[in-house]
Amino acid sequence: MPEEIRLNDGSAIAQLGLGVWQVDPSITAQVVSWGIEAGYRSIDTAEGYGNEEGVGQAIRGAGVPRNELFVTSKLRNGAHQRDNALRAFDETMSKLDIEQLDLFLIHWPIPSQNKYVEAWKTLIELRDAGRIKSIGVSNFNQEHLERIIGETGVTPAVNQIELHPRFQQRDKREFHIKHNIRIESWSPLGSGRLLKDPTIESIASKHGKSVAQTIIRWHLQEGLIVIPKSVHKERIVSNLDVFDFELDAEDLDTIKGIDSPDGRTGSDPATTTFLF
């Protein structure tokens, strides 16, 4: 079972959770139910994924006490302005149909819109009102983090960013450690693109594990929170079966060597302007 990571506000999140981006709304409840049955206790969704209802349905029907489950959602990019953010949060809660959200993130900073400080102040307000346990951000670069911390005095509990062996974001780690912001790796398998990587394949075969398991194990040993996604029951189960082996120093060193500045698979937070 995944260990829990203690966040800077005292809350705890399972280090390994289940992501549901691109999981069709019609199968989300089933996929999340399989995940909970397999032992996942943390689920990562977002307003933009269109599948919060399915997540809520699975959470409510899981037969696992609500306080043992951790639900993350994210504020959509077009709702940074306070009134819109409050309305968007209400919609999230009515779709999830749960009392309190465990973690709410600003999905992207969208610097061109210049409203992420207002969004952050609104998340603080919702947390202070008891509607959210923990608040954080996603896709924030150092300058965005410095700005929200400087203007509010409140440090996000997590920053969810693209991170995987081809895009290790090592230059970002020190700032996060200094401010006790936990990094959560999105697209931890490179959105599936790393699963045929020959370097990781050879490490995986040495340990008798799959490439996906090897990469997930790497995130755990790097001290990152990790949220792989799959819609297949057997993959959901096997992605959690990563606690019976350990990558050695040589494996870690080899994986360090495949990092690339061009390894990004998603959008660049500094220039992304898409609103949803």
Ligand X SMILES: NC(=O)c1ccc[n+]([C@@H]2O[C@H](COP(=O)([O-])OP(=O)(O)OC[C@H]3O[C@@H](n4cnc5c(N)ncnc54)[C@H](OP(=O)(O)O)[C@@H]3O)[C@@H](O)[C@H]2O)c1
What residue type is 66 in one-letter code? R
Identify whether the C-beta of residue 148 lies closer than 8 Å to the C-beta of residue 138: no
84 burial class (0-12, 13-18, 19+ CB within 10 angstroms)? middle
Nearest Cα residue to 212 out of 182, 191, 184: 191
Catalytic residue among 34, 40, 49, 108: 49
What are residue 272's phi and psi, to 5 degrees?
A: -65, 135
Q: Which of 218, 228, 251, 255 binds ligand X (CB under 6 A)?
A: 228
Q: Does 227 bind ligand X (CB under 6 A)?
A: yes
What are residue 239's phi and psi, to 5 degrees?
A: -65, -15
Q: How far does Cα 87 stand from its chain's mean position?
A: 23
Compute the distance between CA of residue 186 and CA of residue 19 in angstroms, rounded to an integer: 8
Q: Looking at 8-16, 75-83, 119-127, 185-193, which segment touches ligand X (CB under 6 A)? A: 185-193
| Count of residues in contact with ligand X, rule CB under 6 A | 29
**Per-residue contact track with ligand X, 106 to 135, x per CB under 6 A?**
-x----------------------------
Q: Which of 15, 42, 77, 160 binds ligand X (CB under 6 A)?
A: 160
Q: Does 252 bind ligand X (CB under 6 A)?
A: no
**Whose Cβ is closer to ligand X: residue 232's or residue 256's?**
232
Q: Which residue is nearest to ligand X (CB)?
A: 19
Compute the distance between CA of residue 36 and CA of residue 236 in angstroms, rounded to an integer: 10
Q: Does 168 bind ligand X (CB under 6 A)?
A: no
Q: Does 139 bind ligand X (CB under 6 A)?
A: yes
Which residues in 204-223 contact ligand X (CB under 6 A)?
A: 210, 212
**Whose Cβ is closer to ligand X: residue 30's or residue 191's?**
191
Q: How far is the CB of 213 from ligand X (least distance, A)?
A: 7
Identify whether the C-beta of residue 5 lies closer than 8 Å to the C-beta of residue 215: no
**Helix, strand or coil, per DSSP, at residue 45:** coil
Q: Is 116 a catalytic residue?
A: no
Q: Does 138 bind ligand X (CB under 6 A)?
A: yes
Q: Does 238 bind ligand X (CB under 6 A)?
A: yes
Q: Looking at 14-22, 53-61, 198-206, 247-255, which segment touches ligand X (CB under 6 A)? A: 14-22
Nearest Cα residue to 60 out of 96, 31, 27: 96
Compute the distance between CA of residue 197 and CA of residue 166 in angstroms, rounded to an integer: 10
Compute the distance between CA of residue 204 and CA of residue 168 in angstroms, rounded to an integer: 19
Q: Which of 187, 203, 247, 251 binds ligand X (CB under 6 A)?
A: 187
Q: Does 47 bind ligand X (CB under 6 A)?
A: no
Contacts with ligand X by CB under 6 A lie at 19-22, 44, 107, 138-139, 160, 186-192, 195, 210, 212, 227-232, 235, 238-239, 266
Question: Would you please indicate which residues are annotated as catalytic (active-site) residues?
Answer: 49
